[in-house]
Amino acid sequence: MIIGYFDYLVFGILIFLNIKFWKKEISGKTGCLVGGILFGFLIPLISLIIEVQRVKMTIGIMDSFEVLYTYLRFPTYWIIAIIQTVIIGVKLSLKKDDQEIENIGNE
């Protein structure tokens, strides 16, 4: 299974947090640093470990090619991080446009 149960949980939490924090301000540097660490290394590594343990408990590992697909977790999460960055960029550009409209209205 390329996407496991842990991945579905992470995707669900990510969608929930995007909806919940859409109107709150996010610092660009903090968001990029946390997102880079989480989606670049930490979450894919945890997902890989969980999947290898699941395979070991259910069918056993005969050779290393049986769990080779788990390395596809890294590019999958990198793509999710790129999508998340685009979403945050859209949010920041909309916020900038709203501030410009307010400034024009106050003049």
Express each pLDDT in 11-60 by its tens digit: 888 888 777 777 676 666 666 677 777 777 888 888 888 888 888 888 77
Express each pLDDT in 68-87 by its tens digit: 878 888 888 888 888 887 87
CA-based torsion, 71, 74, 75, 77: positive or negative: positive
pTM: 0.69
Cβ atoms of 48 and 80 closer than 8 Å: no
Query: What are the sequence ranges of the domains in the chain?
Result: 41-95
Task: Provide DSSP, 29-97.
Answer: HHHHHHHHHIIIIIHHHHHHHHHHHHHHHHT--SSGGGGGGGGGHHHHHHHHHHHHHHHHHHHHHHHHH
